[in-house]
Structures are given as structure tokens and as C-alpha cells.
Amino acid sequence: MEIKNKKILLIIGGGISAYKSLDLIRLLKKNNIQIKTILTQSGKKFVTPLSLASLSNSKAYEDIFDVNNETEIDHISLSRWADIIVVVPTTANLMSRLCSGKADDLATTVILASNKDTILIPAMNVRMWLHKATQRNKKTLLDFGYKFLGPENGEMACGEFGEGKMSSPRQIYTFLNNYFKNKNIVKKKKISALVTTGPTREYLDPVRFISNESSGKQGYEVAIALKKLGVKTTLIAGPSKINFSKDINVINVVSGEEMMNEVKNLLPVNIAVCAAAVSDFKPKVKIKSKFKKKERNLNNLYLEKNPDILEYLGKHNRLRPKILVGFSAETEKLIENSKKKIKEKYCDLIIANDVSKKDIGFNVDYNKVSIIDKKGRVENIPKNKKSFIADRIAKKIIDKFLIDDKNIN
């Protein structure tokens, strides 16, 4: 995916570096990129709507309640139109407003309503940048999924020196170019993935089984998110109530053993995400006809362990997927227990989720997870829809795949 012909929505915040946005527009236009701009009220103090319109060949949008704006292109369509949103410069004030979820002007409303990646390019005095409030806001915004470029070290307009200088138009252009190139790489490289999801059922006889509460939703959303990023994805799903989209290739299974067999059939794959809550135990023998409680001696009902799919993949010396991701559902010591699991099961990332609460995790549409890597680094994703969480997980997996992959061609 080349940057050429891409559509970029630039939001111009109110800082002295706003003047650099004009140079950025010239650079982007020279490379055949389509641009629309939103100018905040304070941004207007530094650059004029006329200069933005002249350079971008499109009017600068300003007011959320402008009837002409809303009939021509409303605040939802603006973000749908764009391939990416870039906020240049992002001021401390704008960061704080985004953190609180404000939608009190066109810029914040468009970002809140957006389904696209948003790149924040901060510029401010070094003290403002290093202030605990701004650093806390940065962390929250990263948790929300926004990306940051900069700020750089250097001399600022106020005469002070330090971290706070806005990245140059050339740096921003290079960042955007790489962003679209990486998207292209995913498609070009023909990456394949398998995702396991749902519970399994381990039948004692034709009507009775051992199972669990898993709905399979989170794994299903991860499969959709990977597919959206251009990965050839197959979902191996235990019994669930999900109405699977036709866009996704689904293999339905019932037991843990069947799930294991389908996983083996799909190898080799580049990425495997084991989100299934495979039943840890299964009856040693399945009784052919329904057993009667009077007839049956329960002492003869023996259980044995199910094969561990994640561990099997992690230990595979020939066909181990390049990126192997496990899930860790815990009710206590979430991070500590999950860090142990990453070692025990030989995986690259583990998605830790707390299943002790009613409003997140098993059988609901919301989740709250921490992504842990082999070095023990933890990235927290606050409570959100499972589809949002899945997008973040999928992006993390692909970023890791691309970094780990030395032979990009």
C-alpha cells in the first residue's frame, strides 16, 4: 500500500508549530496525497483557513455546527473518508481534552467518532511535556490506541531547550510512508494465521459433557481483526452461539482432541493465537449409550488430561509458528500467573484477562486485558468492546511479526 493517493485528515491544533503544518501539506501534496484539514479555534490564531485551503485544494473545516459543513461532509463522514488522522501539532490542552473523551469542537468530535488510526504529533514547552499531568495523559492516550510521533529534543520557539519540539514535516512524511508500507507488507507477505476459540465439550456419554462458560467472542474478534489487516486467517471454534460472518473461514469442532487435530492439519502457519478455553480434562472413555444413574458405578468414571495445544505449538521444533500467542484467564494474581504461563507454554505473547468480574471476560461483550511479552513487559488495555481489544491485539501481533521478521521482501 503506497502513500500515493492516500487520504489524510490533518487536524491543526493551536501552537506556534502550526506553521509547520503548511510545509507538511506542501510535501504531502507533492506526493499526490489527498488532504482535508480541520482547524481548531486556537489553531486559527496561528494559521489561516485560507492558507490551508490554498495549499490543500480543499476548504478547511472549522465549526461542528456549520450547516454547510454538515450537509457537504459531516463529522462522521470526515473520519470515514480518511485513511489516517494526523494531529499536527497536538497541544497539551488537546491531549487533555482527548483523554477526557470531550467532543466539544469539530476536531475532538471527529477523533472520538473515528474508526481510523490517529497519530498525535505533540509540540509544547519542555516543562509542559514533562509535567506529570501530560505524561499521565500520554499514557492514557496510548492505552486508548492513539499513536505518538515525537516530540523531539531541540530548541523550542520559546527559546528553551529540551523534549517538546514538533517532528519536522520530513520526519512526519517518513513516518506516514512507513505506516502505509507496513500495511502493504502484510498483504504482500501472504501471512497466515490460525485462531482457536470457544469452549470444548468432552462427552461422557451421548448427552452429558464437561465444558465451561467461554463464549468464544474474544477469539472470534481477534480472527476478524487479523483478517482486516490482510492476514489469511482460519478460526477453529468450539461450540458457541456466535453467528459467524461469512468473511471468515471457520472450522467447527467439539472436543479438545478434534481441535488439536484441526490445528495440526493447518500447520504450518505464521501466526497462531490460542484463545480457546480447552477443557483441561476429558473422560477416559466415552460411553456409547446414555448411562442410567442406577446402573452405573461412578467409580469407573476416570478423567484424563486433554492435550495442550498451545504448549504443543510452542514446543514444535519444525513447525512452530513465528508468533505464538496464548490467553491467560485468571481470577487472582493475573500478571504474576500469566508471566509464568508465557514460559511454561513457550509463547511470544500472552493476553492476560481477569475472569473474576461479571462485566468483563467470559460471556460478555466487554473485556479488559494486559498484553505481556517474553521480556515481561506489560501493556494494559482498559475496558472496552471485545472488537476494540481484538484490534489492539492484532496490531500488536503484526507489529511483532514485522519486527521479528528479518527477511522482509
Residue numbers at the binding site for ligand C5P (CB under 6 A): 196, 256, 274-276, 278, 306-310, 326-328, 341
User: For ligand C5P, which is the closer residue by CB, 15 or 198?
Assistant: 198
Here the cell at position 147 is 499513536
User: For ligand C5P, which is the closer residue by CB, 82 or 323?
Assistant: 323
Closest CA to 197 of 225, 177, 231, 169: 225
User: For ligand C5P, which is the closer residue by CB, 92 or 275?
Assistant: 275
User: For ligand C5P, which is the closer residue by CB, 117 or 373?
Assistant: 373
What is the torsion angle, in degrees rounded to the nearest 10, for the CA atoms of residue 117, residue 118, residue 119 and residue 122? -160
Whole-angstrom Cα distance, residue 169 to residue 147? 17
The backbone torsions φ and ψ at residue 128, rounded to the nearest 5 degrees and listed phi first, read: -65, -40
Here the cell at position 289 is 449409550
What is the closest distance, in whole angstroms, from the C-beta atom of residue 244 to ligand C5P in the complex?
Answer: 19
Contact 11, 106 (CB under 8 A): no
Here the cell at position 251 is 472450522
Q: Does the annotation mark 274 as catalytic? A: no
What is the closest distance, in whole angstroms, from the C-beta atom of residue 308 to ligand C5P in the complex?
Answer: 4
What is the closest distance, in whole angstroms, from the C-beta atom of residue 337 to ligand C5P in the complex?
Answer: 8
Q: Would you list the DSSP string of 116-178?
A: S-EEEEE---HHHHHSHHHHHHHHHHHHHT-EE--PEEEE-TTS-EEEEEPPPHHHHHHHHHH
Here the cell at position 268 is 504450518
What is the closest distance, in whole angstroms, from the C-beta atom of residue 329 to ligand C5P in the complex?
Answer: 6
User: For ligand C5P, which is the closer residue by CB, 21 or 218?
Assistant: 218
The backbone torsions φ and ψ at residue 374, rounded to the nearest 5 degrees and listed phi first, read: -65, -25
Burial class (CB in 10 A: 0-12, 13-18, 19+), 92: buried
Closest CA to 309 of 240, 261, 265, 238: 261
What is the closest distance, in whole angstroms, from the C-beta atom of residue 394 to ligand C5P in the complex?
Answer: 16
User: For ligand C5P, which is the closer residue by CB, 165 or 392?
Assistant: 392
Whole-angstrom Cα distance, residue 194 to residue 197? 10
Closest CA to 200 of 243, 242, 253, 244: 253
What is the closest distance, in whole angstroms, from the C-beta atom of residue 388 to ligand C5P in the complex?
Answer: 20
Catalytic residue selected from 99, 158, 274, 347 = 158
Give the residue numbers annotated as catalytic, written as ranges: 158
